[in-house]
Structure 1
Amino acid sequence: MLTNHDISPAPASTDPLSVNGIVIDAAVIETESALHAHEPDPDHAARRTLVVRELLAQRAVATGLVANGAGLDDETIDRLLEVECRTPVPSAEESQRYYAANMQKFRSPDLAFARHILFALTEKAAMTRVRARAEEAHRELTQHHDRFDALARRLSNCPSGQVGGNLGQLTRGESVPEFEAAIFGSQHIGLLPGLVNTRYGFHIVSVERRIAGESLPFEVVQATIERYLSEHVRHKSTQQYLNLLASRAELRGIALDLRPGLLLQ
């Protein structure tokens, strides 16, 4: 589905909107504006969207893909772009160059095996009291780490407390940001030196083991890279194609910035 957010905005226009002499009704603009209420200038965004769609519709008629007045749907847009914006398949050499320049992106995830004890914040418990209990338990574990299992079963407000606080294998993106930062923000093994404060409360955390991610071989990620590069080329080709259509059209009721390289998605 085509959008057009990267044509630079211009001041809202009160002039009738037309594309190559085809007038777009004011009521249509108003209806479309409601779909762009989140944008700084909903009227201009609506006009921009309708202009792009009308340009494509006229081109689809000109190429014989649809009859005049038949309307434009997403399938027709895709067919039009397939015919007029052919996307070359990236070569194996291009994919290998991208892989070599971006190897940090192609790694298996870092793993951490951790346990925690949660002291949950509730409406009935004052935060200072909850924190004091958590700090007391943390001090005890600093001296007697072997008591983690028993304290988790007795004190934790998390269901994991029933298995000694065991959270199993964790990767990035599986927990709230504050907890993730505490787990993966260092290479510390064992009881973390302080409490971890999250939206759920105070956590005592122990990282039992870590397994560092490893670089994935090119053969494993080649298809992913090829899809990415193909989409990137298609994106750029579509940008150039739509900018060309707009530059050749007679547009009234809107001003578009069509500097080279400016995306018209």
Structure 2
Amino acid sequence: MANLTLLYAKAALTGFRRHGDALPESSLDAEVSVDSEHMARYAKVCGFGVRDELPITYPHVLGFELQLRLMTGPLFPFPLAGLVHVANRITQHRPLTVAEPLSLHVALANLRPHERGRQFDVVTTVSVDGEEAWVDVSTYLRRTGSAVSTRDELEPPVPTAQWRLPGDLGRRYADVSGDRNPIHVNALAAKVFGFPRAIAHGMWSKARCLAALEGRLPDAYEVDVRFKAPILLPGKVDFSASPGGDGWRFALWSRRPHLEGVISPVRRP
């Protein structure tokens, strides 16, 4: 993960120079072979069983270096520090396996207004033998002006399980994902950005929810989540999941919602 450490250093040194109102029309591609030992370590941290099939969230990790390279490129308009990961949607057309060589394509897209600033997408596509098999759309918010309170006044759902999250969870996930954003691994750095303690990675929380539903989901499905509020580490969260129609709804709560998600089957034409 040495390259990612250098990219974070680059982001810190160049952030003050970044400004603009357009995304560059740039993309990156890579051919990737899955390291089964790395995938097994990822599965353990996130709660998945170890199988030949990749956890649905694992390709996000494979594409993370390309995503970071685009967001630290010379024409990218926003400082990396302060970007907020507000949503993630993954569409899996079929399970991917450890033995398959994967073709990755990552692009920036759809810069648009948001009530608290501007948001954009980082789109990662995985193809096998020229056929699209998996697509990830991560939405990031660049805040401008004062934050608007959006505290939910909803009753929490009935919990299915309660999870205690250790203080080193951010470091452990960073070790397998390469996402070493300091707010996840260092309490002092987190305080600089207004958090009392380090916070869990959003993509860990999504992965952990899906791991809890492992064995009950179809081969082809879409999972769409909204990241509501940070999870402080160490901490305790309630997980809830309920089937509805032909899909699922799930959430993570403590005193307020942290994540809300919907799973829908994908039907091939």
TM-score normalised by structure 1 residue count = 0.22
Quick one: higher RCO (CA 8 Å, sep 6+), 1 or 2? Answer: 1
Q: Counting strand residues as a fraction of each chain, which structure ranks higher?
A: 2
